[in-house]
A and B are shown apart, each in its own frame.
Chain A
Amino acid sequence: MMETLGVWLAAGFTLCIFSFLYKDNPFYKLAEHIYVGASAAYMVIFVWSFDVKPMLIDRFIVNGKVNWSLLFPAFFSALMLCRFIPRIAWLSRWAIAFTVGIGAGIGFTMGLHGYILPQLKATMVPLVNVNNIIIVIGVLSVLMYFYFSIEHKGPVKYVSRLGRIFIMIAFGASFGYTVMARISLLIGRIHFLLSDWLRIIK
């Protein structure tokens, strides 16, 4: 019974959202507002159920043993809430600085060790086949396109133009994949309507 109700609700909301394709209407607005409200409520539950309670509160006292180190994140979390009080809002910057510091530290090593160096290595390939030649020419010409210390004229102009063509091809491929993704979502919804709701197809 509950499953059937869920399917009918999902189908109803899907049709309400699709109705916007014809024109803006109260059914679309209703579905939109419910979605926004449910998302906000979900975020509150999410932060409490997945972060604060299991990671902080439940672990503070385990088997009678107090985990004092958890006072540190609790203190910084409380500082974040100072943003709502203008007079002491500056205190929240300590917590933000801590987060930014960790993010920058992880991001730096990840970016250098996990992205730049392996990608540089993957670009330094022997020019023995067409693919490798395209990779090397593509990388060099795109780098030249973004090199602004010299004026783009003469041979440099042609190399940077070639770089622009490579960038356009990359954008085209990316856009093609995006179209495929959006159509896949439509397919998913229509498959749901035809199978789970209307039961026309299995």
Chain B
Amino acid sequence: MRGLERRIIYLLIALSVIIPFLFKIKTKVEISPPVMSAYNTIESLKEGTPVLISIDYDPASMPELQPMLLAILRHCVKKKLKIILMAHWPLGVPLGQEAIEKIAKEYGLKYGEDYVNLGYRPGGAGVIISMGREIRDIFDCDFKGTPVDSLPLMRNVHNYDDIGVVIGLEAGSVGDWWAQNLGPRFGAKLILGSTAVVTPDLYPYLASGQCQGLIGGLRGAAEYENLVGHPSVATIGMIPQSAAHALIIIFIIIGNIIYILQRRRK
């Protein structure tokens, strides 16, 4: 009987996600201050300013972070910023490339002039610190092996002083490394986007001013999509998310009522 109950819960959760998708119910997404702050930081950059986007996740975190990356890329392109991609996670390289190629096709961007993908380097915090001195010490070529100096976009980009803002999209602890090094050591601006699991750990950096904006989970991605004026996958996912959350709250209430009743009977 207990096993059956468990399966009913799984079925109801699945239905709470599937049904809103099928009926295409739309919702209004309210913008939270941390996401607004992230948006305003990018909005304040001048045309042509390079931004560094670090893709620190793999396919397991794609549902949350890929829509976020696409929304941020759209914003950067609309602001005519120069995009530099890199990754602390090796599988972030193809995910970043897939996203930028999609955006490049939509807006007609040119590789090497409007965007570059530096690829992955092992080393974590060491990479971040070394890049503050000279990016070429770590990335002397892009992900295809093209020398960085032959890419027009990179000619005048040497360290964080030449970059408007660093945007870290995080599924692990790399966000901590960015926040603990970028502001305190180099005085550079940082925006963090993260999976919902990681987000609570990053809030202290927002409060201390070590990052200028924080985009948390699918909800944060939906907010950013709406700010950019291009509601997409994350926004579509908001009603299934709300429905599943409501169902979980109902389960918690029912579970507690049953627990109290059983304790009284004993």
Contact = CB atoms under 8 A, between A and B. Distances in A.
A111 B180 contact: yes
A186 B13 contact: yes
Given A181-B196, A190-B14, A201-B24, A114 B122 contact: no
Given A184-B237, A201-B24, A114 B200 contact: no
B199 interface: yes
In terms of DSSP, what is the predominant structure of the interface of chain B? helix
B216 interface: yes
Of listed A113, A180, A191, residue having the most chain B CB within 10 A: A180
Nearest to B125: A106
Interface string B1-25: 0010001001001100110011010
A47 to B, nearest CB: 9
A119 to B, nearest CB: 6
A191 B208 contact: no
B197 A177 contact: yes
B168 interface: no
Contacts of B7: 21-22
B15 to A, nearest CB: 10
A120 to B, nearest CB: 9
Contacts of A110: 125, 177, 180-181
A51 B90 CA distance: 10
Interface stretch (B34-42, B100-108, B156-164, B240-248): B240-248
B20 to A, nearest CB: 10
Contacts of B18: 190, 194
A178 B197 contact: yes
A186 B217 CA distance: 13
A68 interface: no
B159 to A, nearest CB: 17
In terms of DSSP, what is the predominant structure of the interface of chain A? helix
A115 B17 contact: no
A89 interface: no
B257 interface: no
Of listed A21, A183, A190, residue having the most chain B CB within 10 A: A183
Nearest to B233: A191
Interface of B: 3, 7, 10, 13-14, 17-18, 21-22, 24, 60, 62-64, 90, 120-122, 125-126, 129, 176-177, 179-181, 183-185, 195-197, 199-200, 204, 207-210, 216-219, 233, 236-237, 240-241, 244-245, 248
In the complex, the 4 A-B pairs of residues with the closest C-beta atoms, listed nearest first: A188-B63, A114-B180, A122-B208, A181-B196
30 contacts: A50-B120, A51-B122, A55-B121, A106-B126, A106-B129, A113-B184, A113-B185, A115-B176, A115-B180, A118-B208, A122-B204, A122-B208, A173-B200, A177-B199, A177-B216, A177-B217, A180-B245, A181-B64, A181-B197, A183-B240, A183-B245, A184-B217, A187-B240, A187-B244, A189-B63, A191-B21, A191-B236, A194-B21, A194-B22, A201-B24
